[in-house]
Amino acid sequence: MDGLHIKAALVDEDHEIIAESDPAVVSIDDHHGSDELTRRIYSGFFYNDEIGDRELTDWAGDWQSVHPYLESGALDEVFEAKAADSDSMDFDEYKDYYAIGYETDVERMVIDEDSFTFYDEDGNEHTAEYDYDGYEILDYARGNRGVRFVYARTDDNEDMPAFIQFSDHIIAPQESDHFHLYWGDDRDELLDEVTNWPTYYPSDYTEEDLVRDMLAH
């Protein structure tokens, strides 16, 4: 039902339409959750015993980077909305902040139960196998917290990073609909990275889908 176009119509006594409204799009923000527990965890406030190990299948699928959409101006509506709700940042500041956050040369990736395949902006493709390497709890300056789920490379393909870390505002087993990703060869150093967080959505999402989802945050 999400994305469905609806409109109201006025009919006469013969049930003929004599007037109708412009179409409106139904948007259901089901992945952010409507219950108090889900909202609390999404905001970064949770108890340690609420955290659970997650399998790579939580992120299985074909994913696209949102960075090209930022560069094209497609996400300007999102930054305008954020600026309108903010007392501290304007449109340009938001766009600059997300430009740094989203920046990446990995425009697409495919994840299955034990491997990642990265596709860069030049069309090059690299694949490696990974095993779960636990999770880390991060304390942020704003007072909330986050969880990074870590995967370690198990083969010798050095074209792929030694470690990949997920952050998606989910802290226990659950399929993800978008995520921030961190990768590199130093596990601990990656945990200190909080300014660049390449972000991925399903590859079949359109520009309209992305904007609608981001406006729901």
pLDDT of residue 24: 46
Q: How many domains does the chain have?
A: 1
Domain assignment of residue 6, yes or no: no
Domain assignment of residue 181, yes or no: yes
Residue 21 in this model has a pLDDT that exceeds 90? no
Give the separation between CA 188 and CA 150, rounded to whole angstroms: 11
What is the distance of C-alpha 139 from the center of its chain?
A: 20
> What digits encode the pLDDT tens for the residues 162-183?
999 999 999 999 999 999 999 9
Quickly state the pLDDT bin for 80 (edges 50, 70, 90).
very high
- Pick the closest to residue 23 from 2, 40, 9 (CA basis): 9
Tell me the residue range of the domain where 147 lies. Answer: 46-215
Domain assignment of residue 22, yes or no: no
Give the separation between CA 182 and CA 136, rounded to whole angstroms: 13
Domain assignment of residue 111, yes or no: yes
Domain assignment of residue 26, yes or no: no
Domain assignment of residue 62, yes or no: yes
In eight-state DSSP terms, residue 48 is G
Domain assignment of residue 104, yes or no: yes
Quickly state the pLDDT bin for 123 (edges 50, 70, 90).
confident
Domain assignment of residue 37, yes or no: no
Residue 126 in this model has a pLDDT that exceeds 70? yes
**Domain CATH code at residue 80:** 2.40.128.20
